[in-house]
Amino acid sequence: MRRRHLTLALTSGALLPMVGLRAQTWPDKPVRFVLSQPPGSGPDNVARLLGDRLGALWGQPVVIDNKPGGQNTIGAQAAARATADGSTFYFATTAALVTNVYLFKSLPYDPQKDFVPVAFVARSPFGLLVEANSPLRSLQAMVDKAKAEPGRLTLGNEGPRTFSGMISRVMAARLKIEPNQVPYASIAVATQNLLGGQVEAIVADLASTAALVRAGKLRLLAVSSAQRVTGFEAVPTLAESLPGFDMVGWFAIVAPAGTPAQVVQRINRDVNTLLAERAMAERIAAIGPIADASMSVDQVGAFLRSEHQSWAAATKEIGLLPE
């Protein structure tokens, strides 16, 4: 009888899920971060910076796998379909995990069902920018011009169904102005046209434009975050003129649904430890975003849910319907 019980116990042990066993020895092979942006972009620069440090900590390389295009759907779909064994993660942006839901009638992935939260990385404020020698030296000056000449002030962004475009339209609606919203294929093109005088102002992420501001080629009139941005403390927030305004991009790490919880908790702990280092936070800030080492796995999940509520309301406010 004892022998039979021992045999059953051994048999049951042999049936333990292999994924659970692997979680105990993780990482035992290279870890992949899928991105929906190209090399050299703001998210890519942050992911590579963080990935280098994580790779050294884990003793396995962190491979950055860039899959840009399709309004983030290509990269998101690839990450969602990856094996949930702790070897693949999605270094995601606001658009991929939240705003796409309110812009498209259908997506080839479900941000809320296909992924589990892992770690929050950084916030990426947007800015209202003009060329350094522009006569528009403040937000109020821009508002005054826009109201004096409705439809004449040119305001560049990446189009109505993009992050910068939505921020631009919500800002204009709340300021009660009607600028000429000029869509561009990319922020890089919009920035070049701003420098060349073809457009009077743009809404763009600081990760893409901070270097030009520091070089004295562009001037920040306001930032889109609720608090002033470290390194640009003299620049007012839109919330100072529009109470409650807080629309920022962000980066977060998520994993394919079913990824072992032990691995998720390990990455959350390690990412937060690195982000809490002053040197790491400063290097990320030099790129543009603001590191945030404060969120547990559960808090990341709660944050994502609150973002869905905020962006659902914002798209409704400007009448933006899914297509």
CA dihedral 89, 93, 96, 97 (to 10 degrees): 80
Q: Is the pLDDT of residue 13 over 70?
A: no
Amino acid letter, residue 15: L
| Cα–Cα distance for residue pair 242/315, rounded to 1 Å | 17
Segments of the chain assigned to CATH 3.40.190.150: 31-124+248-317
Q: Provide the mean pLDDT of the chain.
A: 92
> What pLDDT shows up at residue 42?
83
Tens of pLDDT, residue by residue over 196-230, are 999 999 999 988 898 899 999 999 999 999 999 98
Which structure tokens are listed for 59? 């003793």
Could you tell me the pLDDT band of residue 7, with boundaries at 50, 70 and 90? very low
| Cα–Cα distance for residue pair 168/170, rounded to 1 Å | 6
Q: With 0-12 CB in 10 A as exposed, 13-18 as middle and 19+ as buried, what is 60?
A: middle
Fold of 31-124+248-317: D-Maltodextrin-Binding Protein; domain 2 (3.40.190)
CATH architecture of 126-240: 3-Layer(aba) Sandwich (3.40)
| Cα–Cα distance for residue pair 139/94, rounded to 1 Å | 26
> What pLDDT shows up at residue 25?
86
Model confidence pTM above 0.75: yes
| Cα–Cα distance for residue pair 293/281, rounded to 1 Å | 9
For the residues 102-109, what does the mean pLDDT come to? 93
Could you tell me the pLDDT band of residue 20, with boundaries at 50, 70 and 90? low
Measure CA 20 to chain center.
30
Amino acid letter, residue 158: E
| Cα–Cα distance for residue pair 83/29, rounded to 1 Å | 14
